[in-house]
Amino acid sequence: MKLSDFKKMETRPGSFQTLLTFGDEIELSVISGEGSYSSLLTPYEIAVFRNGEFTQLPGITGPDDDVRGHLVEQDVDLIIKKLVTITRETPTQV
């Protein structure tokens, strides 16, 4: 599974989100565009939620940061693969 397998949904003009669920507990939010923690060369930011609350996962988010920014698509693809491995669930788009 890769980010390109899912649709970017426009949440407001110039801002896009892909929201994936991994089973009943884990969600991955991928944001790009206006207002995201990113740049032209590193256009994505991610956050992981467990039961609707921000969560930190080693190797995915930092120990003191709920949001990880300035990622490229390949970084997000690796995060999706890690979450599949951790949860043993196939992601579905919300």
- In order, the DSSP letters of 51-81 are TTEEE--TTTS-TT-SEEEEE-HHHHHHHHH
Res. 62: pLDDT tops 90: no
Q: What is the pLDDT of residue 63?
A: 80
Structure tokens of 50?
A: 């467990």
Structure tokens of 23?
A: 């089973």
What are the Cα distances from residue 10, in Å, to 56, 69, 70? 26, 19, 19
Residue 48's CB is within 10 A of a number of other CB atoms, namely 23
Q: What is the pLDDT of residue 91?
A: 98
Q: What is the pLDDT of residue 26?
A: 97
**pTM of the full structure:** 0.94
Res. 58: pLDDT tops 90: no
Decide if 73 contacts 44 (C-beta within 8 A). Answer: yes
* Of the candidates 5, 35, 32, 42, the residue with the CA atom closest to the CA atom of residue 20: 5
**Residue recorded with tokens 């426009």:** 10
- Please write the tens of the pLDDT for every residue from 37-48: 999 999 999 999
